[in-house]
């Protein structure tokens, strides 16, 4: 029988208001770096570095929330709420690489190999509703939002009005509750590159980078492109588990098992660890998104926006950290 390393343990997540709250906003299903980032976020929650408050899908895609539910269950966080986007970028063509296939995997008795905690994904809350509910319940200036996909949800959140969760507008609620927005977006070493997360929804990216009221730090294309997760780790470092969702996703997305760039997990490492031995922060300023999706940075002494920079030494350090995080057994599997 083929089986995954499922856990019968209770949930790892215990509410602790003393821990920094994190909301993950992801285009899960497009590239494997989202999976690496989500894996790292669970490990940070395991080690009580953060409290994972919610996960938002920022793409209009049927299998993204189901995949997120599979991951929540496998890592021992089945109660983490998932928000969906019903009017965002359609990435159905991309999910086939791993999200849909992971959801469809069955054993010899036609039972799902990877268990879920939910049976119906049509009644999940919208990301906007879940954002407002979640933020309204958090201490002031306490939440980090890690956005590793399109800006769609964040742009829509900015435009929200008072509702049953809060008397504040979206921008007011963000100002009151969010400490940091950390994104994976943009490119600052090539003026002509329209980076994917921006290019797929330029209008939303323009709105977020123009209107976001708190500190915004972005991990640009050039950093993740220079930090590589080696396929040798996938081949050799997970022998303790028959079927690991990260490993299976990697194999489905890249059957040739090529080395892969690490954009999103790099952003996750900065958002949680903020270790200066890994990254250098740019001068403060503002980031402008052009109509063709390229990014321009203007230095300003009182600016609230920054981008991350690395040198070759830092990049090798980050690679080692990524391998360390990815190959660490989650609490649910110990």
Count of residues making up the chain: 334
Radius of gyration of the chain, Cα coordinates, nearest whole angstrom: 19
Task: Give pLDDT, residue 184.
Answer: 98
Q: Split the chain (334 residues) into runs of 10 and give each run's mean pLDDT.
A: 56 71 95 96 98 95 92 98 88 73 94 94 95 98 98 98 98 98 97 94 97 98 98 96 96 94 98 96 98 97 97 98 98 95
What pLDDT shows up at residue 312?
A: 98
Position 314 scores a pLDDT of 98
Strand pairing category for 59-60 and 89-90 = parallel
Domains of the chain listed by start with CATH number? 21-333 (3.90.245.10)
Q: Where are the alpha helices (DSSP H) in the chain?
A: 32-46, 63-74, 92-95, 99-104, 127-136, 152-158, 170-177, 196-199, 202-211, 221-226, 231-236, 245-253, 263-273, 312-327
pLDDT of residue 90: 76
How far apart, in Å, are the Cα atoms of 121 and each of 116, 117, 199? 11, 11, 28
Reference 14, options 76, 83, 68; nearest CA is: 76
Rounded to whole angstroms, how far apart are CA atoms 281 and 218? 10
> What's residue 13's pLDDT?
58
DSSP string, 269-308: HHHHH--TTT-EEPPSEEEEE-TTS-EEEEE-TT--EEEE
Distance between CA atoms of residues 136 and 194, nearest Å = 34
Locate 315 and state its tokens. Answer: 């990049």
Distance between CA atoms of residues 92 and 61, nearest Å: 5
């Amino acid at each position: 029988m083929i089986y995954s390393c499922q856990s019968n343990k209770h949930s790892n997540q215990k509410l602790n208001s003393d821990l920094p709250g994190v909301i993950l906003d992801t285009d899960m299903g497009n590239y494997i770096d989202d999976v690496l980032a989500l894996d790292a976020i669970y490990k940070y929650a395991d080690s009580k570095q953060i409290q994972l408050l919610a996960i938002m899908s920022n793409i209009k895609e049927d299998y993204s929330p189901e995949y997120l539910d599979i991951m929540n269950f496998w890592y021992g966080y089945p109660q983490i709420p998932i928000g969906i986007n019903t009017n965002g970028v359609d990435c159905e063509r991309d999910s086939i690489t791993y999200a849909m296939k992971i959801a469809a995997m069955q054993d010899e008795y036609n039972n799902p190999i990877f268990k879920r905690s939910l049976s119906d994904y049509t009644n999940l809350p919208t990301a906007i509703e879940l954002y407002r509910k979640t933020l309204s319940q958090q201490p002031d200036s306490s939440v980090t939002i890690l956005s590793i996909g399109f800006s769609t949800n964040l742009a829509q959140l900015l435009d929200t009005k008072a509702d049953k969760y809060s008397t504040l507008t979206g921008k007011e609620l963000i100002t009151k509750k969010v400490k940091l927005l950390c994104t994976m977006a943009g490119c600052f070493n090539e003026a002509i590159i329209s980076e994917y997360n921006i290019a797929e929804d330029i209008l939303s990216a323009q709105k977020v980078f123009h209107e976001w009221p708190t500190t915004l730090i972005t991990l640009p294309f050039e950093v993740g492109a220079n930090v590589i997760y080696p396929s040798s780790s996938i081949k050799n470092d997970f022998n303790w588990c028959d079927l690991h969702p990260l490993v299976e996703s990697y194999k489905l997305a890249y059957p040739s098992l090529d080395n892969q760039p690490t954009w999103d997990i790099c952003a996750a490492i900065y958002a949680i660890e903020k270790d200066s031995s890994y990254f250098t922060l740019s001068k403060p300023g503002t980031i402008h998104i052009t109509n063709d999706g390229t990014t321009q940075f203007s230095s300003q002494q009182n600016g609230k926006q920054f981008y991350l920079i690395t040198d070759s030494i830092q990049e090798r350090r980050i690679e080692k950290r990524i391998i360390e995080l990815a190959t660490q057994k989650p609490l649910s599997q110990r």
